[in-house]
Structures are given as structure tokens and as C-alpha cells.
């Protein structure tokens, strides 16, 4: 089963990690959001991409989900002592990555190439691709004005009420090398349980990606469970955008793209409504607490994918 | 006794630290070489300036003399794993400084202002000034071609035979704010036991500095003891430049500037030769093994300065 998985940060990385455990490496390509990338301390920081890479490399911080395991914070402490901006938490080992990536980008290497080299160094056999090598920063429109994503997400801790989103540069962005090919080759495209507004939408905003996705069967896994998210502001965003925060809102978000939709058993009552949208529902336990949960959910996703592609539903 | 001390890295920082212990803070200004500054990993790194600041702040690594005490190397390890350049050893806490300095310089703050702010944050009461806020990179001419200083010093470990030095940008460089004022106000200018070729000469190469130094009594402390240096390539450089490596070579190097010259007791036989140059000799124990050694040597330097300025020699 050849899968192209679209992913944002922690939740997406967890399912991608599960898929990496149940699929042969060559059968999985993870296409990652770069809308939350930003320039900080002169460094190019790619939070979602790094979370996916660290997770598949077995280097992710198991407590936070982001950042490196067993990292230290000495550089940030030293910088903050000197009056520098300490609001974005960068660990020391993580910093080594940002420095080397920034150095390579400065020499003209595209982000996709840098990512591939890093994955090779870590022994990650699956293909992890940024959605685009171009800049595509997410702007969050809020009642307190528009702000870059990390300003909203980390510095303001998602406090401002959102009114919309803009993916700057989307018109000119080109899919990173391999993205359209991976989508075309995929038997099923999986939308990981990532934030639809700011993780999956920016990937779909890259010209050519939505059409490529649309040509394949798509299965989305709901990031909303019982009206809430495990992590991140997706549920809050639905409410502020005038929609009830629910798995159904996620299904509606992607509506015309979806062949199948997996959501949690606590949302089982939504099954008929999903089916009514012409989307195959799959009710299961979608919460990934442990590494074994990731593997189990991924195996179920593959089973669901097989049924979708063989019309056994 | 108002002192302006010219200093390079470890040896200079040690005497400056001693002077800081025996003088009221307002009476000491340390003017530091920036010829070894360079851009690395997108960061502005100022090895001599940082060594002096760390030492006076009590933060220096007591083993190496450079870098921070109790530092870790996680960022560098991570970067090297990814194929990045690990030859220049930057600790994590040290990295925090470089990041914040680079950030501030990028916003247009001059190096002298950044240094002053950092010293305030660390509680350093003495004034530490870079010789200039302008770029003044030392080029080392060697039998293997010319190379930037850190390439010669760290990467090649001073292996190539030197044939000369060039302080690029010296003609256009301006003394940092406060440098000429500190020299004019000094009762004695002290040349710390730093490398004459690549630590003190670059400071003197900044237009206006040599003249300001020349107008004051100058006391140099020899970095060469018994034909050798405690650290660094000064002795090797003298030999390669066709001179015998000795304290006398240092006295000759500075000849027309010096009123007094302090050197080690192992070089006591040179006393007459120094006196013959019209320079007051001061023979003592110049090796600084401990913090107490720094204080003792500094106290002797002050005594020598007092004699120089009151003509009691």
C-alpha cells in the first residue's frame, strides 16, 4: 500500500511514525507543512518538518512531542541572560540542526535537499518532503490584528481570536521536488490528525497539490476528538471561525476531497452524518498515547486504505 | 592609577582580570583586539573580546582559558552529526552569546554597545571596548598562501609558516567610541602579555590609536618567557619572521612605544639589553597559573606604573 501522508506537527508526526512502523520504507512519503516556518535569531526554523523528522528518527522529545529528546537549554538561557528573545524554546541539540540548515540554505541548497541529507544522516529511510522549497509563511488574522504564525502560536499562546488565515506566497510557491510524484504514485493520500486550518490547508495551497490530491482516494484522520484537540488550537479555531468544533467540522472542512474519514469512537454518533456526505466513515480509537497506539492506529488506517481502494466498504 | 590595557585573548584576559582585582573599576579600561573576529555559521564570533569579557565576568572556562565554564557541546555535536563544520569549538552557552550578538549587530547596534550591554548583564563594572566597531580581519600570510586568522589559528592549528600579516580594512577603521578617550585619560597604557603580531598590532593599526598610545607612558608585559609562549603562536611567529623568539624580540617589536617592559625572571639576563634600548626593565614572575598569580602580577604592574609616572626608577 503506497501512502502519501500530509502532516503538520506533533499529531501528524505520531501517525506518520506509526505508518513508518507498518509500511515498507519505500511505500511511505510524508509531505510536511512549512507554513509555520520562520526566521528567528537569524536561523530558519521549521517546527513541523523537524517534529516529523525527529519523530521518525526516534529523536523526538517524548514529553513535549516537539524538540529533541534529552536536550539542554544552555544557549537559550545564556541568550536570555543577555536580554535576547527567549520566548521561542530552542534546545541546544535542536539549535545545531537550525544552524546547519541555515548554513546550507544560505549556500543555495533547497530545503528538500537539506531535509533529505539530514534524514540520511539520522538513518530515516522514509521520504520526508517539505510541501515546498519556497517561502509560504502562514499569517493569522485575529481580532488583535494579523500576525505571523509563531507569534500567534508560541508567543501569544493562541490567545487572540482568529478571523482567518493567509498563506503568503502561495500563488508563487512550487511543490518541492517529489511531492507531485509521491501524490501521483500514492494508492491513498492520508491526511494525518493535524490542524486542518494551519497544517493541512497550507500544503493544499501550494499550486498543483490540491489537484494531485484530488486525483487520489483521500483518507483523513480527525484531529478533533469529542470536540477537543489533543494538542494545538484546531478546536478553538473552528469555534472562532463560527463552526462547532467537532470531527464533523473536520470532515466538512475537507469534504470534496475525502473518500474516507477516520474519527474517534467518542464521536461515533457522527457516523451517519459523515456517510451522508458521501464519505466512508471509520470509527476507532484515534488517541495516540503510546508508540504502540501509533502503530495500531496506522495498521487500522492501512486496513481502511485497502478497503477504500478495493471498494470493500 | 588610571590604566588603559590593550589585550588579546587568554594571556591578556588574565592580566586584565588581575588589574580588575587591584584597581577601582572606573580606573580600568580594556581595549581588545577584534582582528580575530570572524563570521561562522552565520554568527559573528569575537574570540578575544569574549575571552576578556568571560574572564572578567568570572565565566571563563578555567581549563581552556577560552569559552564558558561548565559549558556543553550539544549544538556542535548535533551539527557535526548532520555534516556541519565542527572544527571551531563553540559551546552551547557560548552560542547563546553569539546568537544574541549577531541579532543585535543585525539590527544596527555597534559592537561596542553590544559589549557594554553584555558586560552590564554580567555585572562587569570595568569598561571593555573592542578596538573598533568596524571590520578589521587579520589575514595571515603563510608559505601555504594567505588565510583568515581563525583558519590559520584553529583549523590549521598554526601549522603553516607565517610570512606576514595584514589587517584588512585598517585604513578605514575608526576607533570604537571611548577608545581614544580612555587612552588620553590613562596615566599608563599597559600592553598585556598578548601576541604582539596578531593581538596588539591590530589594535595599534586602527588609525589614531598608535598616536594616542604614543602620547602616554607605555608598559608592556612580555608574552614570551624563556623563548616560549604559555599559549599561542607568538614565539613560533618570531622565529618564522626571522627573529629569535625572546622577550627581547617583544621589546624590540614595540621599541619606540615603550617606557617600561616587564618580563620574566628566567629572562633576567636581558635586563641590560632592555635598558640599553632606553626602556625601563622590570624583572618578575610573569607566569599566571592561578587567579592569585594574576592579582599579584597586576599589583606589581601597578607599582611599576607608579614608578614610571613619578620617575622613581
pLDDT digits (tens, 9 = 90+) for B13-66: 999 999 999 999 999 999 999 999 999 999 999 999 999 999 999 999 988 888
pLDDT at B313 over 80: no
Looking at the partner chain, which of B43, B74, B82 has a beta carbon nearest the beta carbon of A92? Answer: B74
Contact assignment for B93 to A106 by CB distance below 8 Å = no
Looking at the partner chain, which of B92, B103, B122 has a beta carbon nearest the beta carbon of A92? Answer: B92
pLDDT digits (tens, 9 = 90+) for A71-88: 999 999 999 999 999 999
Chain A residue at shortest CA distance from B44: A42
Position A231 scores a pLDDT of: 86
pLDDT digits (tens, 9 = 90+) for A189-202: 999 999 999 999 99
CB atoms within 10 A of CB B274: 25
Domain positions in chain A: 3-41+48-60+111-137+170-310
A-chain residues within 8 Å CB-CB of B100? 41, 78-79, 82-84
pLDDT bucket at A65, cuts 50 / 70 / 90: confident
Q: Decide if domain B3-137+170-310 falls under CATH 3.30.450.40.
A: no
Contact assignment for B97 to A79 by CB distance below 8 Å = yes
Q: Is B57 exposed, middle or buried (0-12, 13-18, 19+ CB in 10 A)?
A: middle
∠ CA A90-A120-A126 to the nearest 5 degrees?
95
CB atoms within 10 A of CB B117: 16
Position B135 scores a pLDDT of: 96
A-chain residues within 8 Å CB-CB of B74? 71-72, 74, 91-93, 96
Mean pLDDT in residue range B224-245: 95
Kindly state whether A120 is in contact with chain B, defined as any CB-CB distance less than 8 angstroms: no
pLDDT at B242 over 70: yes
Query: How far is residue B236 from each of residues B18, B106, B167, B231, measured CA to CA in Å?
Result: 27, 37, 19, 11
Alpha-carbon dihedral angle through residues A31, A37, A41, A42, given to the nearest 10 degrees: 80
pLDDT digits (tens, 9 = 90+) for B145-202: 999 999 999 999 999 999 999 999 999 999 999 999 999 999 999 999 999 999 999 9
Separation CA A264–CA A313 (nearest Å): 18
pLDDT digits (tens, 9 = 90+) for A103-131: 999 999 999 999 999 999 999 999 999 99
Alpha-carbon dihedral angle through residues B51, B53, B59, B62, given to the nearest 10 degrees: 30
Kindly state whether A92 is in contact with chain B, defined as any CB-CB distance less than 8 angstroms: yes
Contact assignment for B93 to A76 by CB distance below 8 Å = no
The x, y and z cell numbers of residue B237, run together, are 611567529
Contact assignment for B100 to A83 by CB distance below 8 Å = yes
Write out the DSSP string of B100-167: HHHHHHHTT--HHHHHHHHHHHHT--SEEEESBSS--PEEEEETTEEEEHHIIIIISTT-SPEEEEEE
Place of cell 494551519: A198
Position A313 scores a pLDDT of: 64
Among residues B179, B130, B185, the alpha carbon closest in space to that of B2 is found at B185
B-chain residues within 8 Å CB-CB of A76? 96
Going through chain A in order, the beta strands assigned E by DSSP cover 3-7, 28-32, 38-40, 43-45, 127-130, 138-142, 145-148, 162-167, 188-191, 218-221, 224-225, 228-229, 260-264, 280-284
CB atoms within 10 A of CB B40: 17
- Looking at CATH, the fold of the domain delimited by A3-41+48-60+111-137+170-310 is given as Rossmann fold (3.40.50)
Whole-number mean pLDDT of chain A? 96
- Torsion angles phi and psi, residue A40, rounded to 5: -145, 130
Kindly state whether A74 is in contact with chain B, defined as any CB-CB distance less than 8 angstroms: yes
B-chain residues within 8 Å CB-CB of A119? none
Mean pLDDT in residue range A173-179: 98
Kindly state whether A58 is in contact with chain B, defined as any CB-CB distance less than 8 angstroms: no
Q: What is the ipTM of this complex?
A: 0.92
pLDDT digits (tens, 9 = 90+) for B259-310: 999 999 999 999 999 999 999 999 999 999 999 999 999 999 999 999 999 8
Q: In what order do the strands lie in the sheet with A145-148?
A: A145-148, A138-142, A162-167
| pTM, rounded to two decimals | 0.93
What are the beta bridge partners of residue A262? A221, A282
Place of cell 555534516: B83
Contact assignment for A84 to B100 by CB distance below 8 Å = yes
Query: How far is residue A280 from each of residues A18, A246, A251, B150, measured CA to CA in Å?
Result: 22, 17, 11, 63
Lowest mean pLDDT, pick from A249-253, B84-88, B128-132, B187-191: B84-88
Q: Is B287 exposed, middle or buried (0-12, 13-18, 19+ CB in 10 A)?
A: middle
Kindly state whether A100 is in contact with chain B, defined as any CB-CB distance less than 8 angstroms: yes
Amino acid at each position: 500500500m503506497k501512502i502519501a501522508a500530509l502532516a503538520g506537527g506533533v499529531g501528524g508526526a505520531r501517525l506518520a511514525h506509526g505508518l513508518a512502523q507498518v509500511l515498507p520504507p519505500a511505500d511511505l512519503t510524508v509531505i510536511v507543512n512549512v507554513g509555520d516556518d520562520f526566521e528567528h535569531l537569524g536561523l530558519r526554523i521549521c517546527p513541523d518538518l523537524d517534529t516529523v523528522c525527529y519523530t521518525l528518527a526516534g529523536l523526538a522529545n517524548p514529553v513535549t512531542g516537539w524538540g529533541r529528546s534529552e536536550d539542554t537549554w544552555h544557549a537559550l538561557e545564556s541568550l536570555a541572560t543577555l536580554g535576547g528573545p527567549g520566548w521561542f524554546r530552542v534546545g541546544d541539540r535542536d539549535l545545531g540542526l537550525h544552524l546547519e540548515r541555515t548554513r546550507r540554505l544560505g549556500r543555495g541548497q533547497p530545503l528538500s535537499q537539506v531535509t533529505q541529507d539530514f534524514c540520511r544522516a539520522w538513518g530515516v529511510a522514509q521520504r520526508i518532503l517539505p510541501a515546498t522549497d519556497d517561502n509560504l509563511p502562514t499569517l493569522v488574522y485575529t481580532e488583535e490584528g494579523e500576525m505571523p504564525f509563531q507569534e500567534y502560536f508560541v508567543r501569544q499562546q493562541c490567545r487572540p481570536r482568529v478571523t482567518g488565515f493567509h498563506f503568503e506566497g502561495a500563488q508563487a510557491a512550487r511543490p518541492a521536488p517529489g511531492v507531485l510524484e509521491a501524490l501521483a504514485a500514492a494508492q491513498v493520500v492520508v491526511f494525518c490528525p493535524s490542524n486542518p486550518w494551519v497544517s493541512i490547508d497550507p500544503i493544499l495551497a501550494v499550486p498543483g497539490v490540491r489537484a494531485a490530491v484530488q486525483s487520489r482516494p483521500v483518507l483523513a484522520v480527525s484531529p478533533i476528538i469529542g470536540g477537543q484537540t489533543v494538542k494545538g488550537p484546531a478546536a478553538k479555531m473552528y469555534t472562532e471561525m463560527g463552526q462547532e468544533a467537532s470531527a464533523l467540522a473536520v470532515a466538512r472542512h475537507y469534504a470534496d476531497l475525502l473518500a474516507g474519514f477516520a474519527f474517534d469512537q467518542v464521536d461515533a454518533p457522527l457516523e451517519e452524518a459523515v456517510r451522508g456526505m458521501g464519505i466512508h466513515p471509520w470509527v476507532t480509537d484515534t488517541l495516540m498515547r503510546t508508540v504502540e497506539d501509533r502503530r495500531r492506529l496506522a495498521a487500522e488506517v492501512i486496513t481502511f486504505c485497502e478497503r477504500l481502494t478495493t471498494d470493500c466498504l
